[in-house]
Amino acid sequence: MTKINTVLGSIEVEELGFTLMHEHIFNANWAMRSVFGNWVDKEAGINKAVGHLKAARDLGVTSLLDATPINLGRDVHILKEVSERSEVHVIAATGLYYNHEPWMTNWEIDRLVDVLLQDIVQGIQGTNGKAGVIKCATDTDGVTPENEKLLRVAARLHLASGIPITTHTDVNEKTGLGQIEIFEDEGVDLNHVIIGHSGDSEDLGYLEDMLNKNVTIGMDRFGLDMMLETEKRVSVISELCARGWAEQMVLSHDACCVMDWFPADTFAMMSSQIAPNWNFSFVPGQVIGLLQEAGISEDQIRAMTHGNPARCLLPSK
């Protein structure tokens, strides 16, 4: 199979080009925004996302992986409009975030897989847009029994569909290793796994422990300097490239255009004052130059921005 699922239909893998591998266009709770019309400003959010994606496109970005699963507020109709207006390919995610909800306890793993498989096979929310990646997550609590169940859902969904897995992790708890252990137990080919937010870490031992398992690691929070400064992120990537790992890293920001984890005015203040570079343009507009200054070769940069995303997103069957 040489095609990648996007929200506007499938594309050839060669069409991906420069791909940001972990972003969020619209992250807002379905129940709250369905009941309260002023929970988020949908139209303003769409316009903001279109503007940000157009700016990234002008800097060479042609594709973006939106890593927003269903229970973080994924809305394929919004993603379709943003993709159409910005002329950037958007890859949507199926799967489930780490937050535990009551119904998760009583649904068996394989029954959840059957439900989620519809996003990949039939299309999302009645559209021709199909999920191109499976999202799962492990946070500061580590791989709890509830979290293990969700990781196994992602693993079996991958085995049933061939669609790759991308994850959210906490580097302080080294949760990427716990995720890998579950995926190995389920028989996942780790070449089709991206361990997200690995770029928050300066622990080369931890990063190489994962890389030695043949996963790809997401250096994907550029702009969030409160977690790790840009210079340190670049230094880690430079050292890993020097050690021969350029073929197993991808770049991104984990940026959000709309995010309801904070009231809108608070989120706007954070985005503009605390993390002014946390947007889709920072990597193509500034980070690439910093990587070049650090001595990373053009071939290595192209691998991280073009070749590795294409390899990772290509379904295994």
Residue-wise pLDDT tens digits, 21-74: 999 999 999 999 999 999 999 999 999 999 999 999 999 999 999 999 999 999
What letter does residue 47 receive in the DSSP assignment? H
In Å, what is the CA distance from 83 to each residue of 154, 191, 272? 26, 28, 24
Instruction: For the chain, give the percent of residues with pLDDT over 70.
Output: 100
Q: Which residues is 19 bridged to in the sheet?
A: 63
d(CA 39, CA 143): 32
Confidence of residue 1 (pLDDT cuts 50, 70, 90): low
Q: How far is Cα 53 from Cα 148, in angstroms, rounded to an integer? A: 35
Question: Does 2 score more than 90 pLDDT?
Answer: no
Query: Nearest to residue 1, comparing CAs of 9, 12, 16, 15?
Result: 12
Neighbours of 92 (CB within 10 A): 29
Asked if residue 193 has pLDDT above 60, the reply is: yes
Contact call for residues 131 and 163 (beta carbons, < 8 A)? yes
pLDDT tens, residue by residue, 147-189: 999 999 999 999 999 999 999 999 999 999 999 999 999 999 9
Q: What is the pLDDT of residue 116?
A: 98
Dist. CA 116–CA 114, nearest whole Å: 6
Q: What is the pLDDT of residues 237-253, one digit of tens each?
A: 999 999 999 999 999 99
Phi and psi at 12, nearest 5°, equal: -70, 145
In CATH terms, the fold of domain 3-313 is TIM Barrel (3.20.20)
Q: Where are the domains of the chain?
A: 3-313
Nearest to residue 103, comparing CAs of 150, 35, 152? 150
Residue with tokens 């931890």: 206
What is the rounded CA–CA span in Å between residue 163 and residue 170? Answer: 23
Whole-number average pLDDT of the chain: 97
Closest CA to 55 of 253, 228, 194, 198: 253
In this prediction, residue 85 has a pLDDT band, given cuts at 50, 70 and 90, of very high
And the tokens for 164?
A: 């790759």
**Lowest mean pLDDT across 201-205, 252-256, 271-275:** 271-275
Mean pLDDT of 204-213: 98
Q: 13-17: long-range contacts at Cβ-Cβ below 8 A with a sequence spacing of 24 or more?
A: 13/310, 13/313, 13/314, 14/310, 15/62, 15/63, 15/89, 16/62, 16/63, 16/89, 16/306, 16/309, 16/310, 16/313, 17/60, 17/61, 17/62, 17/63, 17/306
